[in-house]
Structure formats: C-alpha cells, structure tokens
Amino acid sequence: MALSASPFIAGGTIAPYRMCTVSNTADNTVTQAGSALIPIVGVSGSGTKSASSANHAESGDPVTFQPGPYVQIEAGAAITRGATLQPDSSGRAITAVTTATGAGVQVCQPFVACQSAAAAGDKIWCTPALGMTAYN
C-alpha cells in the first residue's frame, strides 16, 4: 500500500495502524488519538521506524499516513462490521460509545468498520463515516 507524504512529526510514540490527532502543544505535530472528543487527521502507516522498533514513529520522527478512503486500523476490542468507530485511549478502533454531553461538545466517530474484528489487535479495513460527528 502506498503511503501519503505528511507534513507532520510525532509528538510521542505512535504505533502502526493508529488514529492520530493534531497535538495542541506544537505546530505540525500529531499524537495517537486518545479520545473521541478530538478530530482525527489520519491513520498511521503499517511500517515501523526500523527493524528493531515496533513503533511507526517516536517523538520528532516523521509520521506517514495511509491514503484513503479505505484504511486499516488496529482494533482495541471485538468489532462487528458496519459499526461506527471511535478511538480508544491508544488510538485503536472501538465501537463508538461516546455521546455528546454538555453545550457545544462534539464527538468524533470518524470511521465505519468494513469487516469484523474478533479481538483487540486485529487489523480491519475501515472507511470514513461522513457526517458522523455529533454535537450537543
């Protein structure tokens, strides 16, 4: 799979196949998503930074995103195909559970599962869930 060039650098450790969000601490920096309350800007590529590393990128390294519209994301739990997804605390896909609470709160549920995951760690194909941001 060809990966898209990215102007972003890692603001911390980013594993392969993880949803990423823009850091609020530095320009052009992304981190693994850890909440459904922050928009997703891409999904990290499948490669690791070196043969001796399990990480896609570490702080200061360039981050390469998978091109869309279909991307592979690591599951954080079992997922049924067709489920709307959101990131767990480490950027993996889980079935959407967060709802908007409080005035002006928006929830980012950016993907739909194209296939099921039997358990955490499975890589599944996903497609963008257009219009799936909820506001209160």
**Token duo for residue 116:** 């099921």
Element (H, E) at 19: strand 19-22
Burial of 71 (0-12, 13-18, 19+ CB in 10 A): buried
Tell me what pLDDT residue 39 has: 84
Q: What angle do CA 21, 120, 130 make, to 5 degrees?
A: 45
Res 136 pLDDT > 50: no
Tell me what pLDDT residue 110 has: 82
pTM equals 0.86
Structure confidence by residue, pLDDT tens digits, 87-121: 999 999 999 886 656 555 566 678 999 999 999 99
Tell me what pLDDT residue 76 has: 97
Tell me what pLDDT residue 135 has: 42
Q: Alpha carbon 74 to chain centroid distance?
A: 9
Structure confidence by residue, pLDDT tens digits, 4-24: 566 899 999 999 999 999 998
**Token duo for residue 70:** 């279909």
Structure confidence by residue, pLDDT tens digits, 21-60: 999 889 999 999 988 778 889 999 999 988 889 999 999 9
The sign one gets for the Cα dihedral 66, 69, 70, 76 is: positive
User: Which has more pLDDT, 17 or 130?
Assistant: 17
Question: Nearest CA to 66 among 49, 45, 47, 87?
Answer: 45
